[in-house]
Amino acid sequence: MTHKNARMTVLSVLLPASMLLLSLGQIGQYFSRHGIFAKLTARLNDNLSSTNIAIRDCSHNYTINIMSLNPVVFYLDNFIKESEVQHLLEITKNEFDDSRVFLNGQAVVDKSYRSSQSALVDIDDPVSQCLSQRLKALVGNVQHEDTERLHLVKYGVGGYFNLHNDWLTRPLEATGKDGSPRPYNRAGSVFAYLDDSCTGGETYFPEVQGVPDNAEGTKFSRSSTGKGLLVKPRRGSAVFWISAHMNGTGDERMVHASLPVTSGTKVGLNMFSIYYLDTPLVGSMKGQ
């Protein structure tokens, strides 16, 4: 059975069941007045809202523009659907805390280097699961056993992130199946824009080829010298790059910054595909 058929089967089972459960939900409302099934009713209603069904639909229509082949940089137009954007903004709205940077392996707040707020997305969240699959499918023959937990990052006026690389000078550790530490580093990065109601806030890659002066102005800016790639915040769209060389070392050319927001607010989404140091970085493709 193909992926598409599987989804249609699930949907056709879900729809009649949801009609039945909605009426059960209404019965539940009667009992909830007596304080009995209040919690269950709330969860049923929550689970069966049309939004909830929509966010479980992982289909997508994004398109790729190759910006650079060496290093690998893609522009992903419409990578995150509007329903997904709204869901992610809604579930994290009270979760933001000062963003951290890694300093000697420790995650610390340093506002002179990075001034923004971050919010982690629950690993079980249905949109998080769709996006993790989408990233894994994109990286293809690059190792894609796991992705890091998604996190949102919010920049107010003056918020910025100085030049940095997503590849970590000290690998992080996950826990292997036998409980032992399993070092990993980041391979593919996606930075998506969720809220673009701002000026400034471009993602700047000084070592990557810039765009010509007739390039799409809603997607890209140009520096005065034309040097470096400047990607503009554009709701739902994203930039993708590979942070590691194929021998597993970091690619310094992928250094980048988030330029200061000059008005309004920018919210972005960080996604990282990771590679375990115990497995080859390329040539470990699994079925999708």
Q: How near is the Cβ of 242 to ligand NAG at its closest, in Å? A: 12
Q: How near is the Cβ of 60 to ligand NAG at its closest, in Å? A: 5
Q: How near is the Cβ of 11 to ligand NAG at its closest, in Å? A: 13
Please state, in angstroms and rounded to a whole number, the distance separating the CA atoms of residues 67 and 65: 6
Cβ proximity to ligand NAG, 26 vs 262, nearer residue: 26
Q: Which helix (H) or strand (E) holds 17?
A: helix 3-32
Cβ proximity to ligand NAG, 44 vs 89, nearer residue: 44
88 close to 269: Cβ distance less than 8 angstroms: yes
Q: Which helix (H) or strand (E) holds 153?
A: strand 151-155
Q: Give Cβ neighbours of residue 244 (< 8 Å, ≥ 6 apart).
A: 167, 185, 186, 187, 250, 251, 275, 281
Tokens 């949801």 appear where? 18
Q: How near is the Cβ of 37 to ligand NAG at its closest, in Å? A: 10
Q: Under the rule (CB under 6 A), what is the footprint of ligand NAG?
A: 40, 43-44, 47, 59-61, 81, 245, 247, 249
Please state, in angstroms and rounded to a whole number, the distance separating the CA atoms of residues 209 and 224: 14
Cβ proximity to ligand NAG, 14 vs 157, nearer residue: 14
Please state, in angstroms and rounded to a whole number, the distance separating the CA atoms of residues 165 and 114: 13
Cβ proximity to ligand NAG, 54 vs 101, nearer residue: 54
Query: Both tokens of residue 256?
Result: 């980048």
Please state, in angstroms and rounded to a whole number, the distance separating the CA atoms of residues 107 and 243: 20
Q: How near is the Cβ of 224 to ligand NAG at its closest, in Å? A: 30
Cβ proximity to ligand NAG, 9 vs 47, nearer residue: 47
Cβ proximity to ligand NAG, 49 vs 279, nearer residue: 49
Q: Virtual CA dihedral for 74, 79, 85, 91, nearest 10 degrees?
A: -80
Q: How near is the Cβ of 126 to ligand NAG at its closest, in Å? A: 7
